[in-house]
């Protein structure tokens, strides 16, 4: 597309419907001087967006994970040039043909990284990166990852293993365990099997509820617990004696979009891209669909039938 032809018109976007997503026309984005115009080629769907679909009014925009090509560079000279392929963390408006983005929220990707893999990287990769950073040095430590069959969980398994940890991957069913050993997990277990598991140094949890309670009981004194999700939508409850029974325990709750406000997202995305290009990290894409017919892919994610990320292409 000729950048000179862009502006003042309409673009297609996936918006909240009643109840399903629908393609609709929205205003063409008009970038500020410090924003690039990106032509979107693929988008990834997260469980957080599934939750928002049922809460937002019809016509609301969605979308964090995107990959595409810079159509027009930022007018202030920051960021990559027109024609650069990028992965980006959008500001909940990414499910559209074209979007305006700050260069601080995107990173270039090489030509051999396909669009679905590039789109799968931002939310899952950044969450996993920040969770492992909070956990501290992992060389020689044991790390228990709950929800390991999902997009973030599979990134966590890889990053923790690359950092030298012994990784225990927990999943809700045997079918969710597919491929986890190849990604670096030393042990793969269901939540029921994990109830009899041994002591660990670090717990990284995305599930909450009884899964968190059971896994928490395995963390040694002086260990670390990082919670970054609550897929069961229950209160996060810890044992009454947790502080006395485990002196020195560190507990943190990671919210990605709080972290984004104080981190260099573009730099961190670039670090993830380097790991991918060096073969040390794989964006696990489980299902690819068309944004013109998103429901099958969304259903796979909702029913936990996708072992990894769900991506829609434009």
- Give the burial string for 84-98 (b: 16+ CB within 10 Å, else e): bbbbbbbbbbbbbbb
Is the pLDDT at 4 greater than 90? The verdict is no
- Return d(Cα 129, Cα 161) in angstroms, integer: 12
Is the pLDDT at 6 greater than 60? The verdict is no
What percent of the chain has pLDDT above 90? 77
Q: Within 10 Å of residue 166's Cβ, how many Cβ atoms? A: 18
What's the confidence (pLDDT) of residue 243?
62
* The residue to which tokens 């991506």 are assigned: 311
- Return d(Cα 310, Cα 99) in angstroms, integer: 20
DSSP 282: -
Query: Could you write out the DSSP letters of every residue in 160-213?
Result: HHHTT-EEEEEESSGGGGTTTTTTT-SEEEEHHHHTT---EEEEEESS-HHHHH
Say which residue, 252 or 37, is predicted with more confidence: 37
SS3 content of the chain, % helix, strand, coil (to 5): 30, 30, 45
φ/ψ region of 62 (left if φ > 0, alpha if ψ in -120 to 50, else beta) reads: beta
pLDDT per residue as tens digits for the range 271-311: 999 999 999 999 999 999 999 999 998 898 988 888 999 99
pLDDT per residue as tens digits for the range 45-89: 998 898 888 889 999 999 999 999 999 999 999 999 999 999 999
* The residue to which tokens 């009454």 are assigned: 240
Residue in 193, 138, 133 with CA at minimum distance from that of residue 166? 138
Residue pair 130/259 in contact by the 8 Å Cβ criterion: yes
């Amino acid at each position: 597309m000729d950048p000179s032809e862009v502006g003042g018109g309409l673009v297609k976007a996936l918006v909240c419907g009643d109840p399903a997503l629908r393609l609709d026309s929205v205003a063409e984005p008009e970038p500020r001087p410090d924003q690039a115009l990106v032509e979107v080629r693929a988008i990834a769907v997260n469980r957080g967006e599934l939750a928002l679909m049922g809460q937002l009014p019809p016509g609301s925009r969605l979308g964090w994970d995107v990959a595409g090509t810079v159509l027009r560079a930022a007018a202030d000279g920051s960021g990559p040039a027109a024609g650069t392929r990028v992965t980006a963390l959008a500001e909940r408006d990414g499910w559209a043909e074209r979007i305006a983005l700050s260069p601080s929220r995107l990173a270039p990707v090489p030509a051999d990284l396909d669009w679905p893999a590039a789109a799968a990287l931002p939310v899952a990769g950044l969450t996993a990166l920040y969770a492992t950073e909070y956990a501290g040095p992992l060389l020689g430590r044991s790390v228990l990852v709950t929800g390991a069959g999902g997009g973030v969980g599979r990134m966590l398994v890889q990053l923790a293993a690359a950092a030298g940890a012994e990784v225990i991957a927990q999943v809700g069913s045997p079918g969710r365990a597919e491929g986890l050993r190849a990604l670096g997990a030393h042990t793969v277990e269901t939540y029921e099997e994990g109830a009899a598991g041994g002591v660990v140094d670090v717990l990284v949890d995305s599930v909450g509820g009884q899964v968190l309670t059971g896994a928490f009981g395995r963390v040694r004194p002086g260990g670390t617990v990082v919670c970054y999700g609550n897929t069961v939508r229950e209160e996060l409850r810890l044992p009454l004696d947790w502080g006395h029974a485990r002196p020195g325990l560190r507990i943190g709750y990671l919210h990605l979009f709080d972290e984004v406000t104080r981190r260099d997202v573009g730099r961190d995305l670039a670090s993830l891209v380097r790991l991918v290009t060096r073969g040390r990290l794989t964006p696990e894409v489980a299902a690819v669909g068309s944004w013109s017919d998103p429901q099958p892919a969304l259903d796979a994610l909702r029913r936990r039938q996708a072992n990894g990320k769900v991506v829609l292409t434009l």
